[in-house]
Structure 1
Amino acid sequence: MGIRDFFKKRPKEAVNPVADSSGEALGGVGRILFRTRWKGSMLSEDASLVEKVAERIIQEDPFCKPFAGLENEEIARKKRRIYEYEQVTTVNVAIKDGNLIIEGLSLGKLPAEQWNEISPYYGKNDFTAFVYVTGGRYKAYSVASDTVETAYTPYDLDIFIQFE
């Protein structure tokens, strides 16, 4: 009996579609119990630390394309600011002993208000987090000068936390 014979003689399995893939059907798995969003500047008063974390995220992102890969002519047509690193994100986020750690750098202890929000879920439920870099250098079309100009706003972080 050859390998082809083995596969030919095997009975075909019937495919049964899953009727309900909601969180309730899965015993609650995948159901979001809590989610929140924080700004890095809200959690740490040290702007240089927030900038250092943002720069680390940028360094670690292998898919980073400055200004979304757009040329000045394309940016002029967008009619909005295009940040140099607006699509840069990380999922390398942890909370240890109340400290928020992003890409191995600690933003410090979470303020009591934020810790009280998540403490009922922390350590008991699945934790998911991701962080986007905001701010930095950007390009925008200026009607006054009829050119694309470059400017800068301080870096910040959009931090999304959820428990399932």
Structure 2
Amino acid sequence: MSFYENLKYFVKNHATHSNKFLGTTPKKKITRTISIQYKHFFQAQEITSNQETIDTIVKCIIKNDVANRYYAGKKDKDIMEVKGKIYEYESFRTQEVHLVPTSDEDFDLYIEDTNLGQLPETFSKEVQHYLQTTILTAFAYIKGGPSKHYDKEKDCIVEYDEPFDLNIYIQFC
């Protein structure tokens, strides 16, 4: 028998019976769960009134989002069944949200490497405490922009356009 045939014979006869191949090593379960210590939700317009800055960030999010689920993945026939508006970019988000200290108690908020503005003072004090003791997780979702809505009276889909905004979620675990 050649080496290849010996190896084939060994694998055939031992692979299904060997504990090493079956992976019987016990799996360690992680018993410690991560809990949210503090969370905060706000909108970009609470930090800045500059619509150009918000639009710049929105363009970056749209460009970099990998899912590309326009209108939350719904087609016109699906929109007819939904009550309310469906926004074109409502499923687009980014995790490129960073808090940068500017002084002892102030933090600037950067989204997609663009400075949105300074965090409100009341929130900055909480951030300072939790940044030292926990892990930061942050997301920004697009709000506003082009949307579609089914109008029952006209029996058609009506398109709207609103200024963009961002829903920003910051949490510490």
> For this structure pair, what is the TM-score category when the shorter chain's length is used for normalisation?
0.7 to 0.9
Matched residue, 2:47: 43
Aligned with residue 121 of structure 1, among 130, 137, 142: 130
How much has 1:6 moved relative to structure 2? 8.9
Structure 1 residue ranges (4+ consecutive) displaced by more than 6 angstroms after TM superposition: none
Structure 1 or 2: larger helix share? Answer: 2
Gaps of 5+ in 2: 1-5, 102-106
Q: Hey, what's the Cα distance between the residues in 2 that align with 1:73 and 1:13? A: 51
Matched residue, 1:139: 148
Q: Quote the sequence identity (%).
A: 25
Q: Hey, what's the Cα distance between the residues in 1 that align with 2:170 and 2:24? A: 41
Task: Please tell me the residue identity of whatever aligns with 1:124.
Answer: T
C-alpha distance after superposition, 1:19-71 (max 9, x if no partner): x7243xxxxxx232111111111111212211221221111102112223333
Q: Secondary structure at the match of 2:137?
A: strand
Matched, 1:89 2:93: yes
Matched residue, 2:61: 57
The alignment of Structure 1 onto Structure 2 pairs a total of residues equal to 157
Gaps of 5+ in 1: 24-29
Task: Please tell me the residue identity of whatever aligns with 1:15.
Answer: P
Two-structure CA RMSD over aligned residues (Å): 2.5
Matched residue, 1:34: 38
Cα 1:9–1:82 change in 2 (3 A) is closer
Matched residue, 1:108: 117
Matched residue, 1:149: 158
C-alpha distance after superposition, 1:65-102 (max 9, x if no partner): 22233332221121221110111111111111211111
Q: Hey, what's the Cα distance between the residues in 2 that align with 1:114 and 1:15? A: 45
Cα 1:65–1:32 change in 2 (3 A) is closer
Matched residue, 1:15: 26
Cα 1:13–1:60 change in 2 (3 A) is same
Q: Hey, what's the Cα distance between the residues in 2 that align with 1:16 and 1:64? A: 37
- The TM-score normalised by the length of structure 2 is 0.78
